[in-house]
Structure 1
Amino acid sequence: MGKLLVTVDHQFIRTPDGKVWVKTIYGYDFWKRYLKVFDEVRIACRISDVSRLNEEMMISSGPNVEFFQLPHYRGPKEFVLRYWKIRKAMVGIAAGCSCALYRIPSPIANAVHNEVKKKHLPWAVEVVNDPWDTFAPGAYRGISRPFVRIYFYCQVKFMAGNADGVSYVTRSALQKRYPSYVKRHKENHMHFESFYSSIILNRDFFYYDRKVPHDQFTIVHINSCITDYSKGHDVVIRVLNILRKNGMNVYVKFIGDGPMRSEFQKMALSYEVADYIEFTGLLSGVQAIRQELLGADLLVFPTKGEGLPRTVIEAMAVGLPCLSTPVNGIPELLPAECLFSQQDDEAFAKKAWDILTTPDLYQRLSKQNLETATSYEYDVLAARRDIFYKKLSDLGEN
């Protein structure tokens, strides 16, 4: 079974007792998916040492999970400036491992792979996002955007095309843009492909008693790290402005936090809707997010680029109607009538109005979303994941 090396493009913190913590997604339960097949897992990631926790966080460390600390950096610019320091810190990162898995796109994946190649280890990738859409014009502002876009596009293209194993979060969307060896040739004992979402959606998450809203409405938007315009916060603010000007008693909750939060708060003031918007900050743990979803009436998620957004699947699982954009894997989740061009404020607003004021439409979309979400329930996805990891593990033993 051996030890698996996993790269994760996420920020972790470590307290003096040696425990590693994370704000979202990568709690210890996440690593259990790998431990079902491998004896041990080594996580290569950015870790900052702190004297104590200043906010609620999830425990990420646990039995048979080892963390390999890489220097902290924030964003592509800092990664480039600290590249040689990061590379130097990676010496020995693959020692004792039987195979490697990279969650891409990721700044550190290529650098780690340079060490993995020295050990001649089998390797696989999990393609979790599409950088070509995520870093498209308008996604975020900065002179580096086109270069970052091309770099990560080439990274995913190369790694998906050359890895021993490739898994995608979509059924077909990412596969078309980033074909694997299997897609270009055929599957064999050395090359394999699969698809499964990264989401952990247990049966107790689902909610089947969704009520049709009446006099007051809440629109929810979730993005754990608010760093740019790519997730459409600005669009939601303008949609709220349109709905309220037309007399709807509607509010917005933005779940998440990050350096751009203050920018969107200023934007809300400029549109005179700040009193109707709540920024909750980052919520730690899936149950906290579920509670917010249960209290909402509609998810509006005008994203620029995704793989297959957990946000949308979680909202669907509690019966929320959802509006989003027709990018990457989202058309695999939502019907065409609920998908609009990212900057089409009027279209989002009109559909939101129709859904919130038409009980039959609301109930139909709610039921439809619940039915679709069941195919992303944990046990359904776990079966495909286990097969994929077992194939990688077998290569590591040969």
Structure 2
Amino acid sequence: MKVLFVHDHRFAYIDNDYYSPGGLPNTVWSRYLNYFQEVVVLGRTLTENNKEKLTMSSRDRVTFELLNYLEAHANTYRYKSRVKQDIKNIIEKHNINAVVARLPSELGYAVIDVCREIKLPYAVEVVACAYDAIANYRFTPWYNYRNLAIKILAPFSYRKMRRYVGGAEHVIYVTENFLQIRYPANSTAIVSYASNVELPNFEENVLNNHISLLEEKKKELRFGMIGNVDVLYKGYDITLKALALIKDEIPPFKLYLVGGGKGDAVRNIARELGLIDNLVFVGKLRSGPQVFHFLDKLDLYLHPSRQEGLPRSLIEAMGRGCPCLGSKTAGIPELLLVESLHDTGDHKKLSAQILELINSKEKQINAAKVNFMKAKEYNMDILAGRRNVFFSSFYKSVIEKSK
């Protein structure tokens, strides 16, 4: 039995192997290979030659099929008929028995259309909010006409995703509540939830070491964020505005940004706010040890995002014992205590929260302990068990329909 995994994710082909920017490492395919003999991955091409910046996605029993004419998302609409025909060809070429469509993604919607047409079983993974992904995106400058266009497009994307999720017989969400409410499955569907974030079982010494770091007296504080620095809905402007309000009330600090992108817009904002000397662009780090080492050095992790599913970087920061502050966006309130949350876009509230934490070692240490314990819920063994029940049910339904 073979399964086709479909998402708009980009992969780079380097030295006969496929690489991901980080979201789909080769370990992720195990969840499907537990039931299917082979996984075929359908995605888009990524132009990148430096594999040191990427994560290996290739492994045995996994084949990649990339569409190289979808550089821009708009091309999915432009080549709609071609995309569907290519999907049919890939299904026939590999003798596909079932499909997993990760949403929101235009390739995901297209493959569901094909599945319905040819009566092929499919399951849906809901990993983010289509509305937030569009409505909260920002082009610069603020008067760019595309900002108005995305405001108009967002409600259509929301209704489209509700329709596709609602029509699926098997749906698994990355959140416990948020995405289920926005994009409900139909009453007869098999439904589950399991975050895409899978943490190893961190030992208590991880927490103890971070508490020791928080207790130290420092000449300079280290704040951190993780995400592509050109994706402004991650809230870099919110963080910078918050820090600008209190820069004279707290010790010297640096804001370290981990992730790809050039960061020109972020630099401009920092320069306008007088924080350009406080900004450090780290660049990309490999998931796992490199990211964990970065997090282990932070006094505070900030996640004021305008759009999310359930943020991997925030859970990883919590799992390393970092005090964290975040917005009330998507699944973030499922992770942090109420006192660690601010309304989306409210830089004044975030500013006050940063000041309160920095001025209290007791609150920093308590936040580190609470976050560390919460992150244990995302242990890979716990999530794998829940996910296995879902995919076992899906696999059995595929077998039944193939008779």
Q: Give the alignment's TM-score, normalised by structure 2.
A: 0.90
User: Which residue number corresponds to residue 56 of structure 2?
Assistant: 59
Kept in 2: contact 1:131–1:305 (CA 8 A): no
Match of 2:190 among 180, 189, 192: 192
Report deviation, 1:356: 1.7
User: Which residue number corresponds to residue 233 of structure 1?
Assistant: 236
| Separation in structure 2 between the aligned mates of residue 35 and residue 55 of structure 1, nearest angstrom | 26
State the identity %.
25
User: Which residue number corresponds to residue 143 of structure 2?
Assistant: none
| Separation in structure 2 between the aligned mates of residue 72 and residue 243 of structure 1, nearest angstrom | 47
Kept in 1: contact 2:302–2:325 (CA 8 A): yes
User: Which deviates further from its counterpart, 20-29 or 69-78?
Assistant: 69-78
| Separation in structure 1 between the aligned mates of residue 80 and residue 284 of structure 2, nearest angstrom | 29
Kept in 2: contact 1:308–1:329 (CA 8 A): yes
Match of 1:379 among 377, 381, 393: 381
Once the two structures are superposed, residues 163-210 of structure 1 have per-residue CA deviations (whole angstroms, 9 ceiling, x without a partner) of 1101111111111111111xxx34xxxx30000000121114872112
| Separation in structure 2 between the aligned mates of residue 221 and residue 300 of structure 1, nearest angstrom | 6
| Separation in structure 2 between the aligned mates of residue 137 and residue 323 of structure 1, nearest angstrom | 19
| Separation in structure 2 between the aligned mates of residue 205 and residue 305 of structure 1, nearest angstrom | 31
| Separation in structure 2 between the aligned mates of residue 19 and residue 386 of structure 1, nearest angstrom | 28
Report deviation, 1:6: 0.8
Report deviation, 1:240: 2.3
Aligned positions of 1:224-373 closer than 5 A = 225-258=228-261, 261-373=263-375
Kept in 2: contact 1:99–1:392 (CA 8 A): no
Could you say if the C-alpha distance between residues 338 and 247 of structure 1 is closer, same or farther in structure 2, counting changes exceeding 3 Å?
A: closer
Could you say if the C-alpha distance between residues 178 and 262 of structure 1 is closer, same or farther in structure 2, counting changes exceeding 3 Å?
A: same
Q: CA RMSD in A?
A: 2.1
Could you say if the C-alpha distance between residues 295 and 125 of structure 1 is closer, same or farther in structure 2, counting changes exceeding 3 Å?
A: same
Query: Which SS does the other structure have where 1:369 is aligned?
Result: helix
Query: Which SS does the other structure have where 2:364 is aligned?
Result: helix
| Separation in structure 1 between the aligned mates of residue 156 and residue 67 of structure 2, nearest angstrom | 21
Query: Which SS does the other structure have where 2:91 is aligned?
Result: coil
| Separation in structure 2 between the aligned mates of residue 272 and residue 254 of structure 1, nearest angstrom | 17
User: Which residue number corresponds to residue 219 of structure 1?
Assistant: 223
Could you say if the C-alpha distance between residues 287 and 246 of structure 1 is closer, same or farther in structure 2, counting changes exceeding 3 Å?
A: same
Gaps of 5+ in 1: none
Once the two structures are superposed, residues 126-149 of structure 1 have per-residue CA deviations (whole angstroms, 9 ceiling, x without a partner) of 111112223225655624313442
When the two structures are aligned, how many residues end up with a matched partner? 386
User: Which residue number corresponds to residue 94 of structure 1?
Assistant: 91
Kept in 1: contact 2:162–2:183 (CA 8 A): yes
Kept in 2: contact 1:240–1:252 (CA 8 A): no
User: Which residue number corresponds to residue 16 of structure 2?
Assistant: 18
User: Which deviates further from its counterpart, 210-219 or 300-309?
Assistant: 210-219
Could you say if the C-alpha distance between residues 137 and 373 of structure 1 is closer, same or farther in structure 2, counting changes exceeding 3 Å?
A: closer
Kindly provide the amino acid, as one letter, of the partner of residue 168 in structure 2.
A
| Separation in structure 2 between the aligned mates of residue 173 and residue 114 of structure 1, nearest angstrom | 26
Report deviation, 1:220: 0.6
Kept in 2: contact 1:130–1:305 (CA 8 A): yes
Q: Which has the higher helix share?
A: 2
Find out whether 1:173 has 2:170 as its counterpart.
no
Could you say if the C-alpha distance between residues 391 and 315 of structure 1 is closer, same or farther in structure 2, counting changes exceeding 3 Å?
A: same
Aligned positions of 1:6-85 closer than 5 A = 6-15=5-14, 17-48=15-46, 52-53=49-50, 55-85=52-82
Gaps of 5+ in 2: 141-145
Once the two structures are superposed, residues 42-86 of structure 1 have per-residue CA deviations (whole angstroms, 9 ceiling, x without a partner) of 111012577x54643222111110111212434433433444443
